[in-house]
Amino acid sequence: MKNSRSWLGLLGFGAAVAAAGWFGARHSPRNVRTKLWYARLDKSPLTPPDSVFPIVWTTLYSLIAVSGWRIWIQEDSPERSRALRLWATQLATNAEWTRLFFGQHRPKQALLDVLSLEAQIVSYMLSAKKSIQPPRPVSFPMPRGSPSPHSSTPKSSAATPTPRISSPTPPDTTRQLFLVQIPIYGPGEAH
């Protein structure tokens, strides 16, 4: 039951982000007046081509949804509640930028919105870091004798023979496994 509730929560966060995206799309530069206004702006030569924006925003909004969901599945705490409020606030501020910039052609107000958004994002990250549980190791079965993902494989050369350690009975590497634990870290967690 808890697992299905978790997936429903992820869908809810996805829906919230989709709603913000829908609100922003209503003010996107698709109408002729906005296209002309945007084309006349003095833009940096580093401005990416228009075809990049849907890919980048889809990725960013997906990550925003997963980030909020990861906080939501944590134990209830004041920090978790604060992080979720900040998550919702930054999402609303993010959507508001599109309305200010593209919908109302007010770049100065949009800049103020972005500065506010940046402060909210930093506050969210700090609050999220306090509320999220430490990463749990994920175990992967590895055949015995396989190199560890944390070690480098030494390069052998003809001049330097590799020492061999003999044992009375060689291990059956086809059936013996050991587990490698790799911690999975979230945004803002220590590595």
| Same-domain status, 50 and 75 | yes
State the total domains in the chain: 2
pLDDT block averages, 10 residues each, the chain of length 191: 74 95 83 87 90 90 94 92 96 94 93 96 93 65 57 51 50 43 48 46
| Alpha carbon distance 81, 128 (integer Å) | 10
DSSP for the chain, written as a single string? -HHHHHHHHHHHHHHHHHHHHHHHHTTSTTSHHHHHHHHHS---TTPPPTTHHHHHHHHHHHHHHHHHHHHHTSPP-HHHHHHHHHHHHHHHHHHHHHIIIIIS--HHHHHHHHHHHHHHHHHHHHHHHHHSPPPPEEEEEEETTPPPTTSPPPPP-SSSPPP----SS---TTT-EEEEEEEPP-TT---
Whether the CB-CB separation of 21 and 96 falls below 8 Å is answered with no
Q: Which of 105, 131, 157 represents a domain boundary (last residue)?
A: 131
pLDDT given for residue 138 in this prediction: 53
The pTM of the full predicted model, rounded to 2 decimals, is 0.66
| Same-domain status, 144 and 109 | no
Distance of CA 144 to the CA centre of its chain: 33
| Same-domain status, 123 and 142 | no
pLDDT given for residue 177 in this prediction: 43
The boundaries of the domain holding residue 118 are 2-131
pLDDT given for residue 112 in this prediction: 97
